[in-house]
Amino acid sequence: MADKANNFQDVVVNKKARFDYEVVDTFEAGLALLGTEVKSVRLKKVSIQEAYATIRNGEAFIVGMNIAHYEMGNRFNHEPARDRKLLLHRQEIKRLTGKLKERGYTLVPLKVYFKNGKVKVLLGLARGKAQYDKRKTIQKREADREMQREIKRHLK
């Protein structure tokens, strides 16, 4: 889904993150990538299902993000599962460090997209949902679908 007005182009969306976690806040971060990684991202060969972000020595990294090898690459092709540096402002990193020290918070990638030709990651500051919260989410989704079906059927 490309939004031409703001020059956004979604590459991959982590739908499961919003189901498994309650997202409290979101942050946009740039990714420090190699050339072959950018080419693979353009081909949408990215997986963020198991990924999470962490802060080490005052720098933010994304761990578990898999960018497949670029098929046209040479022997200097990138490592698919390496930790990648996130480009955030120092104030954002300090704020996130404080939040992550609180019990139960984690940083999960919600989506990877291109913005004005640069690869960006939308990070969610999230708290894990309990099993009953997940069931509530499913029930609400099914009720909304049923309501839409009834409205559609009624309008015919």
Confidence band, pLDDT 50/70/90 cuts, at residue 109? very high
What pLDDT, on a 0 to 100 scale, did the predictor assign at position 64?
87
Average pLDDT value for residue range 16-39: 85
Indicate whether 5 pLDDT > 60: no
Give the tokens for residue 148: 């839409």
Average pLDDT of the chain is: 84
Report the percentage of the chain scoring pLDDT > 70: 92
What pLDDT, on a 0 to 100 scale, did the predictor assign at position 90?
92
Q: Which residues of 16-54 are buried (b: 16+ CB within 10 A; e: fewer)?
A: ebbeebeeeeebebebebbebbbbbbeeebbbbeebbbb
Indicate whether 3 pLDDT > 50: no
Kind of pairing between the strands at 21-31 and 118-128: antiparallel
Please state the domain extents for the chain: 2-129
Confidence band, pLDDT 50/70/90 cuts, at residue 89? very high
What pLDDT, on a 0 to 100 scale, did the predictor assign at position 87?
92
- Torsion, CA 118, CA 39, CA 125, CA 59, rounded to 10: -80
One-character DSSP codes across 127-141: EEPPHHHHHHHHHHH
Tokens 């940083």 — which residue?
A: 107
CATH topology (fold) of 2-129: Small Protein B; Chain: A; (2.40.280)
Tokens 């761990």 — which residue?
A: 63
What pLDDT, on a 0 to 100 scale, did the predictor assign at position 100?
85
Least confident of 4-8, 62-66, 74-78, 129-133: 4-8
Residue 50 CA to residue 94 CA, distance in Å, equals 24
What pLDDT, on a 0 to 100 scale, did the predictor assign at position 6?
59
Confidence band, pLDDT 50/70/90 cuts, at residue 70? confident
Q: Which of 154, 133, 49, 32 is nearest to 84 (CA)?
A: 32
